Amino acid sequence: METRKVQLSGGTTYTISLPKSWAEEHGIEAGSVLRLHPETDGTLLVESTGEDDDRVRSGRVDVARHDAAGIRETLYAMYAVGFDEITLVDPAGHDTGVHRAVADAAGQLSGLEVMEETDTTITLRSLIDAGNISIRKSMLRLRLTVLAMHRDATTAFVDADPDLAAGLAGRDDEVDKLFALVARHFRQALSDLQEVEKLDQSRDALFEHYHVARQLERVGDHAEKIGRLADQQPGPPPAALAEEVSTYADRSRRIIEQASDVVLSDADVPVAYDVLDDAADLGADVDDFSRTLYERETTGAIHRAILVLDSLKRTAEYGANIAEMAIQRSVRAGTPE
């Protein structure tokens, strides 16, 4: 760290000198233009500019040794870390299956389109600009999708409705798509000050949203799991078991909804503390009820019910994680209660 003394120039302007080594490293000389980013916490960030400010962040990767699944993971990773243009290269040529897998993967990532295909290369481009993105609206949509998905999953289990369960996998893809979008812009904001300004969110706020989005994405995974279990049932569970599952499911969703309200809708912070108590109570109740199942139900029913109950307990735990972030957010903002 270096320090500089503020000087008064011309009676109206404050000036400071720049470290010479930093200026030379970034090609800054007399007449160069710098970007200044004032932050609400009193920080002033200084950023060098250049002819490539509007550059497209491009990446090329040799995927010759990857199968279709490996190529998809590579594509997801490059999207998540912020590449705008991605070229997948295989000198031996991409087969039809790879082209199809890439197209399917691109369809599961917001704004990513296949722009050019040859025998040896597939080039994709992200068409979404951060200035057109509302992270908060994306988060609200993510929460709405996850809660609806979770509600339908438990209904499918209680009613043994295979048709309702069958549609959950596609909705989990939508959850993953929204989470990937939030993760991408959070990662970009870590290294790009313009991205922060376009999103109109501080880095702290973006991290909080990313953390909450991760918890919601996990809830979506458990909803899909419950849907699979519902599809495996030979018939509806016993009425008493169905009632208990419905009750615990309602409680777990309420925990998610209330916790996320504190982060996304500025609900009162004490709600987050209540959520922590509710999540602990639900976990204890689920554990007690699970122990009683072995005395009441057949082996097959026990196995499926225990797995569903575990997912409901996990859902409450993810809500507690959101509540903890809500409390940390209030502390950061200086408004703990």
Fold of 7-48: Pemi-like Protein 1; Chain: D (2.10.260)
Across 50-78, average pLDDT: 81
Q: Which pLDDT score, from 0 to 100, does residue 332 have?
A: 82
What pLDDT shows up at residue 260?
A: 95
Alpha helices in the chain (DSSP H): 20-25, 68-80, 96-107, 135-159, 162-166, 168-191, 193-199, 203-232, 239-264, 270-296, 299-333
For the ranges 9-13, 158-162, 166-170, 302-306, the one whose mean pLDDT is highest: 158-162
Note the pLDDT of residue 39: 66
Half-sphere exposure of 6 (CA within 13 A, CB side): 5
Comparing CA positions, the residue from 222, 218, 230 lying closest to residue 155 is: 230
**More confident position, 1 or 100:** 100
* Fold classified for 131-333: Methane Monooxygenase Hydroxylase; Chain G, domain 1 (1.20.58)
- CATH 2.10.260 domain extents, the chain: 7-48
Whether the predicted pLDDT of 30 surpasses 80: no
- Gyration radius from the chain CA atoms: 25
Residue 297 has a pLDDT of 55
Picking from 182, 304, 318, 305, the residue whose alpha carbon sits closest to that of residue 253 is: 318
Domain boundaries for CATH 3.30.110 within the chain: 58-126
Reply yes or no on whether the pLDDT at 52 is more than 60: no
Q: Is the pLDDT of residue 50 over 60?
A: no
- The answer, yes or no, to whether residue 336 has pLDDT greater than 60, is no
Cα torsion at 233, 235, 238, 243 (round to 10°)? Answer: 70
Three-state SS at 235: coil
For 206-256, the pLDDT digits (tens) are 999 999 999 999 999 999 999 999 998 888 888 889 999 999 999 999 999
Dig out the tokens for 177 from the structure. Answer: 């798509």
Torsions phi, psi for 246 (to 5 deg): -60, -40
- State how far Cα 163 lies from the chain centre: 28
Q: pLDDT tier at 286 (50, 70, 90 boundaries)?
A: very high
Write out the residue limits of the CATH 1.20.58.220 domain(s) in the chain: 131-333
What mean pLDDT value characterizes the chain? 87
pTM, full prediction: 0.83
Q: What is the mean pLDDT of residues 158-185?
A: 92
| pLDDT tens digits, 148-164 | 999 999 999 999 999 99
The dotted CATH code for 58-126 is 3.30.110
The two most distant CA atoms of the chain are separated, in Å, by: 87
